[in-house]
Amino acid sequence: MTSQGKVMIGNNGVSDVDAHTGNLGVTFMERLNGGVIQTTIIANNGNSVHSRHTILTDQMVSSQYYGRCSIR
């Protein structure tokens, strides 16, 4: 099930995101003006990964960060 109308609050302010919820976790997708999508996946057990794929002028830059999320 995909839902619209979600926002992410980060270091650079507020961004619109799409959320896809499944039985194993949730994925947040941020669509950037440059035509790229950044994703954050959070598994039901709290494990998470953020994937960033960016185009800077004439080169592509990608990175991934692994971590854990908790409910507060």
Tokens of 48: 């998470």
CB 65 within 8 A of CB 53: no
Least confident of 11-20, 24-33, 63-72: 11-20
Mean pLDDT along residues 56-66: 90
Average pLDDT in the 20-44 region?
Answer: 91
Both tokens assigned to 39: 């994703």
Q: Which residue has the tokens 């995101």?
A: 17
Among 5-14, 16-25, 44-53, the least confident range: 5-14
Higher pLDDT, 29 or 13: 29
Of 26, 18, 32, whose CA–CA distance to 49 is shortest?
Answer: 26
Strand-pair partners of 41: 27, 49
